[in-house]
Amino acid sequence: MMGLSCREVIRKRRSIRKFDSRPVSADLLEEIIEAARLAPSGTNRQPWRFILLKSEKEKGKIAGIVIQPFVLEAPAVFVCCVDRNSFTRRMVGKRLKELVDTNVVSQESADFLSQRNIPERVEEVITPSSAYLDLGIAVEHMVLQATALGLGSCWVRLFNTRQMHKALGLPEEIEVVALLPVGYPAHSPPLRPRLNRDDIIIEPDN
């Protein structure tokens, strides 16, 4: 069977806030993880990390922290995080070397990039804004892949990230950014309000 085109997936996607109780197969969840894995990122740093909560016991850990109950009604919840380790000199160097070895970046550019002020120790890393761009791209890849598989999802940021970090017992360098509940949609909402084309295009000065 032919899958949906990119255009069709983009048009079909909605934030889904009601889920069927039907579980999502491990294969489909793996496809969603693969969509994140293949996302682009600055200097190929791939700072995204995910915790997948499926059982009632696993989801129960975040029960007191999510504000919107629909999140826990989803059969699978991805906790989407940034790993600050990705921004240490050692990890940046490793990723840069891969790019040089695969002829993506020249040795000169890699040398130039490594001259920047890159922290040695993870404790010194202040998460750069590009980390959130990188994670955002990966999560939206997951959202679109889920849609293409007939699943629904919803970006969720409405929770206290520090409390979430604590409830999951995560290491210091892992920063929780968003949740992505995933499941079979139990509603099919219409297109939500959007700005017009001319509201989002700023014409360059002539």
Angle at 52 between CA 49 and CA 55, to 5 degrees: 165
57/192 with CB nearer ligand FMN: 192
Q: How far is the CB of 81 from ligand FMN (least distance, A)?
A: 14
Q: How far is the CB of 159 from ligand FMN (least distance, A)?
A: 7
Q: How far is the CB of 101 from ligand FMN (least distance, A)?
A: 35
For β-strands 48-53 and 174-183, DSSP reports them as unpaired
**CA dist., res. 47 & res. 31, Å (int):** 19
Show the binding pattern over residues 141-160: x = contacts ligand FMN (CB under 6 A), - = does not: -------------xxxxx--
Q: How far is the CB of 119 from ligand FMN (least distance, A)?
A: 27
91/154 with CB nearer ligand FMN: 154
- Token pair 């598989």 in the structure block, residue: 149
Q: Rule CB under 6 A: is residue 14 a binding residue for ligand FMN? A: yes
Encoding tokens for residue 73?
A: 């009604």
Q: Rule CB under 6 A: is residue 76 a binding residue for ligand FMN? A: no
68/85 with CB nearer ligand FMN: 68
**CA dist., res. 187 & res. 185, Å (int):** 5
Q: Which of 129, 158, 201, 8 is nearest to 69 (CA)?
A: 158
**CA dist., res. 177 & res. 162, Å (int):** 10
Residue nearest to ligand FMN (CB): 158
143-172 burial: b if 16+ Cβ within 10 Å, else e: bbbbbbbebbbbbbeebeeeebbebbebee
Q: Rule CB under 6 A: is residue 15 a binding residue for ligand FMN? A: yes
1/195 with CB nearer ligand FMN: 195
Q: Rule CB under 6 A: is residue 68 a binding residue for ligand FMN? A: yes
Which chain residues interact with ligand FMN by CB under 6 A?
14-15, 17, 68, 154-158, 192
